[in-house]
Amino acid sequence: MDFLPDAIVTCILVYVTNAKDVASASCVSKRWKESIPYLNKLVFPRNIFDDVKRFSPDEIIEQMVSSINKLEELVVYCPFSGSCLASWLSMAGHSLQKLELKMDDNLIDLNSCSRKLDSIGAATNLESLKLWGVNMTRGPKWHTFHKLKNLEIVGAVTDDSNLHAALGACPNLSNLLLLGCEGATDVFIELPHLEKCKLDFNGLGNCSLTVNSRNLQHLEVQGFSGIRVLETQFLRDLIIANTAGRVSALDFGKLVALESLEMRGVQWCWHAIHYMLQLASEVKHLLMKVEFTGDFDALQPFPEIDIVDFFNSHPKLTKFEIHGAMFAALCQRNSLRNVDSRFMIPCLEEVVVTVRSPLNAEQKMSTLESLINYGKKLRKMRIRILQMKSSHSSTDDFFEDICKFTHSHRRIVSIE
């Protein structure tokens, strides 16, 4: 091993990031041991110290971190103390660019969680910060992270003011991910350089959200009933979901750049659905997976939707995914009343239809046939049959009709 060229040793050590492997590599030869200080990444897996009795995890981590001259990336999934974290970051904080910590070993001890959060402030040159299991019911004492571009927090307990304070210390974020968060009710995000934002908040689904980020390109939100986005000129991808509550109030600017829209949830107010469909007139990919509408707790079916008006209002639509209620609304008796010889669906190439009920089978088959006939560029239609009750008297007949339809258009249609 001692006779390997420096370039090959360096190339090999780039792939040695697990702390246990690093420790083993230092025993291979004197040459390799002398190369350890030039590593730039260390990873401590969750159970790495299960069989270690002689030294504490804090001592081992501190020793290994201190042995590296310029540590750029540190990932710690194993338990650690707040005082130990402060010690590591005092040594490596000046060079550290990426930091990932699993902090959920003791969420009940608020003082311990606060110390850990506060200690992160020593790594002033961070470009990426990922935290797992965070108690943020006290605002972190951070100075401004001017270089931080990526912030990901999974499983946080927080509130409106402390979340706002944490985000305020990261003014130059371009990517923000908050998953499995709870405790906040009115979330306000004002980050001028933010391009990608994914938010998933637990609870009753009645949170409100305001986003003011002029460069926003991708927005995915879950768990909000009211959503307001002030700057939308660059927004290309939008996903709105609410599995626990009702989406009731939406306020967006003009969606001139929007290419993909996904609407998911158990219940949306109809005016919110109608509002988004009107705004997204230039959309190319549309997914509708909303089961019910209604302004109050009572779940209501979708009103009838005229298929001609719908596609005339969305002339650039190339992929359309229809689930449940939306498909039923397009399959009402009068939904095809405005069809004439000039009508066509100009850009539609792919349709995914989820069928859950044999009710109105004749109208549903007519709608499927219309999509084939008027979709001049249609090259793929997938029919998904989901949880259809076989006890219904017309189920077998409907399924047989779908099979015949699939056979007649087998180059385009398939059943899943």
Mind listing the pLDDT tens digit for each residue in 97-112? 999 999 875 555 667 7
Q: Are 143 and 163 in contact (CB under 8 A)?
A: no
Q: What is the pTM of this model?
A: 0.91
Q: Are 310 and 341 in contact (CB under 8 A)?
A: no
For the ranges 9-13, 85-89, 389-393, the lowest mean pLDDT is seen at 389-393
Rounded CA-CA distance 222/247 in Å is: 10
Q: At how many degrees (to 10) do helices 57-66 and 82-92 cross?
A: 0
Percent of the chain exceeding pLDDT 90 equals 57
State how far Cα 303 lies from the chain centre.
Answer: 30
Q: Which amino acid is at 374?
A: Y
| Contacting residues for 260 by C-beta, under 8 A, at least 6 apart | 236, 237, 238, 283, 284, 285, 286
- Locate the DSSP E strands across 145-217: 150-158, 175-181, 186-190, 196-201, 207-212
- Locate the DSSP E strands across 254-410: 260-268, 285-292, 319-323, 350-355, 380-385
Percent of the chain exceeding pLDDT 70 equals 94
Both tokens of residue 268?
């949306």
Arithmetic mean of pLDDT over the chain: 89
Q: Span 242-250, mean pLDDT?
A: 95
What is the band of 280 on the pLDDT scale with cuts at 50, 70, 90?
very high
Regarding predicted confidence, which is higher, 110 or 405? 405
Q: Which residue has the tokens 């042995």?
A: 67
pLDDT at 289 over 80: yes
Rounded CA-CA distance 151/167 in Å is: 9
What is the band of 222 on the pLDDT scale with cuts at 50, 70, 90?
very high
For the ranges 27-41, 90-104, 203-217, 290-304, the lowest mean pLDDT is seen at 27-41
Q: Are 322 and 297 in contact (CB under 8 A)?
A: no
pLDDT at 26 over 80: no
What is the band of 387 on the pLDDT scale with cuts at 50, 70, 90?
confident
What is the band of 284 on the pLDDT scale with cuts at 50, 70, 90?
very high
pLDDT at 56: 83
Rounded CA-CA distance 334/148 in Å is: 55
pLDDT at 340: 76
Q: What is the DSSP string of 80-141?
A: --HHHHHHHHHHHTTT--EEEEE-TT-SS-HHHHHHHHHHHTT-TT-SEEEEEEEEESS---
Q: What is the pLDDT of residues 122-166, one digit of tens each?
A: 999 999 999 999 988 888 889 899 999 999 999 999 999 999 999
State residue 216 phi and psi, 5-degree precision: -60, 130
Provide the β-strand partners of residue 255. none
C-alpha angle 200-181-203 in degrees, rounded to nearest 5:
80
Please name which of 128, 86, 75, 79 lies closest in space to residue 103, comparing C-alpha atoms: 79
Question: Residue 263 belongs to what H/E stretch?
Answer: strand 260-268
What is the band of 271 on the pLDDT scale with cuts at 50, 70, 90?
very high
| Contacting residues for 37 by C-beta, under 8 A, at least 6 apart | 67, 68, 69
Rounded CA-CA distance 19/52 in Å is: 13
Q: Are 127 and 97 in contact (CB under 8 A)?
A: yes
Q: Which residue has the tokens 């001139």?
A: 256
Query: How far is CA 386 from each of CA 149, 220, 293, 361, rounded to the nearest angstrom?
Result: 42, 25, 20, 15
The CB-based long-range contact list for 6-13 (8 Å cut-off, 24+ gap) reads 9/35, 10/35, 10/38, 13/38, 13/39
For the ranges 18-22, 61-65, 263-267, the lowest mean pLDDT is seen at 18-22
Q: What is the DSSP string of 212-268?
A: E-TT--EEEEESEEEEEES--TT--EEEEEEEEEEE-EEEE---TT--EEEEEEEEE
| Contacting residues for 185 by C-beta, under 8 A, at least 6 apart | 160, 206, 207, 208
DSSP tag of 182: B
Both tokens of residue 2?
């001692």
For the chain, how many helices (H) and strands (E)?
Answer: 12, 19
Q: What is the pLDDT of residues 319-368, one digit of tens each?
A: 999 987 888 888 876 766 667 778 899 999 999 999 888 888 888 898 99
Please name which of 46, 121, 115 lies closest in space to residue 83, comparing C-alpha atoms: 115
Q: Span 53-78, mean pLDDT?
A: 88
Rounded CA-CA distance 319/325 in Å is: 18
Q: What is the DSSP string of 55-83?
A: S-HHHHHHHHHHT-SS--EEEE-S---HH
What is the band of 374 on the pLDDT scale with cuts at 50, 70, 90?
very high
pLDDT at 22: 81
